[in-house]
Chains A and B, each alone.
Chain A
Amino acid sequence: MTFINYASREINCKIVYYGPGLCGKTTNLQFIYDKTNPAAKGKLISLATETDRTLFFDFLPLELGNVRGFKTRFHLYTVPGQVFYDASRKLILKGVDGVIFVADSQRERMDANAESLQNLESNLKTQGYDLMSIPYVLQLNKRDLPNIVPVEEMKKQLVLRNEPVLEAIAKANGVGVFDTLKAVAKLVLQDLTRPDKNG
Chain B
Amino acid sequence: MATADVVMYDEEFNQIKSIISKLRVDANAKLVFLVDKNGQQIAAHGDVENLDTTSLASLTAGNVAATDALAKLIGEKEFSILFHEGERDNIHISIVGLRVILVIIFDERSSLGLVRLRVKKASKELNDIFDRIMQKVETEKTYGTNVDSPFAEITDEDIDSLFSE
Interfacial residues, chain A to chain B (CB-CB below 8 A): 1-8, 11-12, 14, 37, 42-43, 45, 47, 56-57, 59, 61, 64-65, 67-70, 72, 75, 77, 87-88, 90-92, 94-95, 127-129, 178, 182, 185-186, 189-190, 192-193, 195, 197-199
Contacts and interface: CB of A to CB of B under 8 A. Distances in A.
Contacts of A77: 58
Given A43-B52, A195-B144, A3 B6 contact: yes
A5 B8 contact: yes
Contacts of A92: 62, 65
B74 interface: no
B69 A87 contact: yes
B21 interface: no
Interface of B: 1-10, 12-14, 36-40, 42, 52, 54-55, 58-59, 62, 65-66, 69, 137, 141, 144-145, 150-154, 156, 158-159, 161-163, 165
Grouping DSSP codes into helix (H, G, I), strand (E, B) and loop, the B interface class, with mixed when no group exceeds half, is mixed
B52 A42 contact: yes
Contact of A68 (B12, B39, B144, B158): B158
Grouping DSSP codes into helix (H, G, I), strand (E, B) and loop, the A interface class, with mixed when no group exceeds half, is mixed
B1 to A, nearest CB: 6
B141 to A, nearest CB: 5
B161 to A, nearest CB: 7
Given A14-B39, A91-B62, A95-B3, A70 B150 contact: yes
